[in-house]
Amino acid sequence: MRRPKSKQFKQQNRLSEVKEIEFLESWIAAGKPESGSNPMSLPPPPSKSPIGRLPDGSFSPYSCSEKFTQLPLSKRTKDGLKDAKFLKMTEIQRATLPHSLCGRDILGAAKTGSGKTLAFVIPVLEKLYRAKWGPEDGVGCIIMSPTRELASQLFEVLKSVGRHHGFSAGLLIGGRKDVDMEKERVNQLNILVCTPGRLLQHMDETLNFDCSQLQVLVLDEADRILDVGFKKDVNAIVSQLPKHRQTFLFSATQTKSVKDLARLSLKDPEYLNLHEERLDKEHPDKEHRDPTPSRLAQTTMVVDLHQKLDMLWSFLKAHLNSRVLVFLSSCKQVKFVFEAFKKLRPGIPLMCLHGRMKQERRLGIYAQFCEKRSVLFCTDVAARGLDFNQAVDWVVQVDCPDDVASYIHRVGRTARYVCSGKSILFLTTSETKMIEKLNEKNIPVRFTKANTKRLQPISSLLQALLVKYPNLKQLAERAFITYLRSILKQRDKEIFDVTKLPVAEYAASLGLPMTPKVRFLKQNSKVKKVSEERTPFPESNADENPSELLKGISATDMPEKAKLELDDGFLIEKDTQLEGQENTIDIKDDLSATRVLKKKKLKINVHRPVGTRVVFDDEGNTLAPLATLADTSAGPDSVELDKDKVSQRYAELREEMKVADKEDKALEQKRLKEKRIKQKMKLKRGRDEDEVSEEDDHSGSEGEATKVRGRNKKSKIYLNNESDDDGDNNRAKGADLVSLAEQEELALKLLSSMNS
């Protein structure tokens, strides 16, 4: 059992910390780099040069350092870096650490896998250590990341480097059930590693949660956090943070938006982009500024949409001893491909990772993929920041990324730091413009052709699986629909055009016997047809010469009335008449109006006299409104009310109200009944139409289907209307009248025969 530390030891330790903090602050102030400079441009110091305070009382320069021991860092941070085997700095760390240790705001951009995490973890620890931050001081730093996996990874790095510090740190991410425990302890934490959604939840719900003393705010993958998806949450979070703080923004694709930087209250930030400011003497020109790792071999090939799964299956069968990361567009696609390939058994362990999974399972799959060689099917949830313990050999992008930034982050999961890696991108013929955009960003992508001889088609195998497993068929239909919807929602319509996709062939490649109905595609095609049918008017000055306007409108586009007038020559005038006279041609009745007229608003006349109530007696004389209820026993001029008459009047009104209530209730029940019957008939008609349309889709063309639907459509609604009841009663009465007449006639004949 260890002996407890004595009071004298604690006091000496505290004095040594105070002296160390004073020494570090003096060292930082003495060697502070100039604002706007890049420390990478300075030559490194000699290997055996003294570090720290020199004999003449000055300090050694640290702006040009290459090792962590040459920086003005505390002993605890240096011990943590040494234990974690971090000895030499990367380029982004050499460029940003001298500025961040001085308390400046940083905008850092570097290639994926270049060590950006340590570039902000070290300044965070040093800032709080020099400020003598303790548990009673509350939250001193917030580190935000866009995904839960990246936040967990950052938290592990923070624990390994800051293990010798006494700060309390916590991981706040969604998908966990222990929110109540977090609320109890979050006020005692000094460093929060979190996602925006969970942090905002604590700001709104946790009692006495205070961030007014915040010292440092860090946004990892800043361009993604500042994107539209997190905009609302980030704005709400930043509004509750103090403006006087230090802010770090790091990403592989950094933002320069003035609006984004303004809402984060950055003060003269140091923008250090190693893509643009590469100072290598070998490649000073812009042509060699590659934003992707240099050890990454990038390949792309054109693959038809209905052959992508065949190509993916053939690729996996050829790389059974590799660690492969496969990117797909949507969660439904990931589920379907994972389940289908798992049943086909390619000979390598398969895993899947997407945003719809529970957090514990996501972390477990992430850990398993780090340990053994396998294939991980995932969405863009794994595209940013994740660093796997074992190097990823291949990154396969089955679906085209949204933009160049997404491509950079996807391929950045391999070839990290000093490791090498490979990537391949499948593009359809309509998506080949993505290659041009990659070349514009100086990304060296090699184009290759697919080897169709080694292609193994699996569509027949998928069809057999879908027949055997009905749940898999539902997954295939959802994957089909979500993929088309993702293409439809893309912003870049030059690359992503859903109308150019072979929809039927793609459905068959998934094993589906029939192409599922996609309603949003039909709606989009209708809108497109309407927009094509509308011909805009030519951009000419109609006020100066209306004949030019008529020349721009073809005769086929004009209504019949306008055609007749043109044929008769009523709208055509000679140029000599137009030169000296004002234009008097009126075409507003024939051309469609471009402005929708608003409805006229009716104003209430507040000065209109208000109606008055008039009461008459039995003789027709006018009385006061309450004269019938007056007490006549006290005299004709009495203004008092007779209580008996008032109570009698109330009783009469109550009886009238009861009768009216019964009538209203019966009418309301009748109305609701008719409404329910109409809804049922409407649903029935809709189901009948769907069944007819499905049969028509399977049997004939679309034109024949509309004809069949038109013949089979029934729109009769049977309701209990009063008119029907009256008709039945009249028919019954008519039958009774005829029978009585016949009886009377028969009786008269009998009487006449008897008299004769």
CA-closest candidate to residue 246, choices 220, 272, 273, 218: 218
Give the separation between CA 365 and CA 358, rounded to whole angstroms: 11
At residue 174, the pLDDT reads 86
pLDDT in tens, 51-94: 888 888 889 989 888 999 999 999 999 999 999 999 899 989 99
Contacts of 743 (CB under 8 A, 6+ apart): none
CA-closest candidate to residue 504, choices 741, 698, 636: 698
- Inter-axis angle of helices 470-488 and 459-468, to 10 degrees? 120
- CB contact at 8 A, 630 and 642: yes
3-state secondary structure of 209: coil
Instruction: Give buried/exposed letters for 337-363 (b at 16+ CB in 10 A, else e).
Output: bbbbbeeeebebebbbbbbebeeeebb
DSSP string, 164-178: TS---EEEE-SS-S-
* Locus of tokens 């539902």: 474
Give the separation between CA 460 and CA 101, rounded to whole angstroms: 62
> Taking the C-alpha atoms of 77, 79, 84 and 87 in order, what is their torsion angle to the nearest 10 degrees?
90
Q: Where in the chain is the domain with CATH 3.40.50.300?
A: 73-273, 292-509
Residues of the chain with pLDDT under 70: 1-10, 255-256, 258-259, 262, 275-289, 385, 522-604, 606, 608-611, 625, 628, 631-639, 688-739, 753-756
- CB contact at 8 A, 699 and 687: no
Question: What are the backbone dihedrals phi and psi of residue 424, each rounded to the nearest 5 degrees, phi first?
Answer: -140, 140
DSSP string, 618-685: TTS-EE-TTGGGB-GGG-TT--PBPHHHHHHHHHHHHHHHHHHHHHHHHHHHHHHHHHHHHHHHHHHH
HSE-CB at 702 with a 13 A cutoff on CA atoms is 2
DSSP string, 400-445: --SSHHHHHHHHTTSS-TT--EEEEEEE-GGGTHHHHHHHHTT--E
Give the separation between CA 437 and CA 698, rounded to whole angstroms: 41
SS (H, E, C) 571-620: CCCCHHHHHHCCCCCCCCCCCCCCCCCCCCCCCCCCCCCCCCCCEECCCC
Question: What are the backbone dihedrals phi and psi of residue 139, each rounded to the nearest 5 degrees, phi first?
Answer: -75, 120
At residue 265, the pLDDT reads 79
Give the separation between CA 375 and CA 368, rounded to whole angstroms: 11
How many residues make up the chain in this entry? 756
Give the separation between CA 361 and CA 230, rounded to whole angstroms: 24
Residue 573: left (phi > 0), alpha (psi -120 to 50), or beta? beta
- CB contact at 8 A, 230 and 149: no
DSSP string, 64-101: T--BGGGS---HHHHHHHHHTT--B--HHHHHHHHHHH
pLDDT in tens, 28-46: 999 899 888 888 888 888 8
CA-closest candidate to residue 146, choices 197, 202, 106: 197
Domain 292-509 in CATH 3.40.50.300? The answer is: yes
- CB contact at 8 A, 85 and 160: no
Give the separation between CA 480 and CA 475, rounded to whole angstroms: 9
Strands of the sheet containing 324-327, edge to edge, are: 350-353, 375-378, 324-327, 394-397, 421-427, 296-302, 445-447
Exposed, middle or buried: residue 306 (CB in 10 Å: 0-12, 13-18, 19+)? buried
Give the separation between CA 473 and CA 480, rounded to whole angstroms: 11
3-state secondary structure of 394: strand
Contacts of 435 (CB under 8 A, 6+ apart): 300, 427, 445, 447
Give the separation between CA 594 and CA 380, rounded to whole angstroms: 44
At residue 14, the pLDDT reads 74
* Locus of tokens 């492969």: 324
Contacts of 507 (CB under 8 A, 6+ apart): 480, 514, 515, 516
At residue 282, the pLDDT reads 45
3-state secondary structure of 31: coil
Pairing of strands 622-623, 615-616: antiparallel
The pTM for the full model equals 0.60
DSSP string, 715-747: -------HHHHHHHHHHHHHHHHHHHHHHHHHH
Instruction: Give buried/exposed letters for 159-181 (b at 16+ CB in 10 A, else e).
Output: eebbebbebebbbbbeeeeeeee
Contacts of 388 (CB under 8 A, 6+ apart): 323, 369, 370, 413
| 73-273 CATH choice from 3.40.50.300, 3.30.1490.190, 1.10.3720.10, 3.40.50.720 | 3.40.50.300
Task: Name the DSSP class of 194.
Answer: E
CA-closest candidate to residue 394, choices 291, 309, 312, 452: 312
Contacts of 163 (CB under 8 A, 6+ apart): 80, 83
Q: What residues does 270 pair with on adjacent strands?
A: 106
Q: How far is CA 217 from the centre of its chain?
A: 24
- CB contact at 8 A, 479 and 330: yes
- CB contact at 8 A, 423 and 394: yes
Give the separation between CA 439 and CA 499, rounded to whole angstroms: 26
- CB contact at 8 A, 423 and 299: yes
- CB contact at 8 A, 213 and 137: yes
Give the separation between CA 108 and CA 40, rounded to whole angstroms: 13
At residue 433, the pLDDT reads 93
Q: How far is CA 598 from the centre of its chain?
A: 35
Q: Residue 586 is which amino acid?
A: D
At residue 311, the pLDDT reads 95
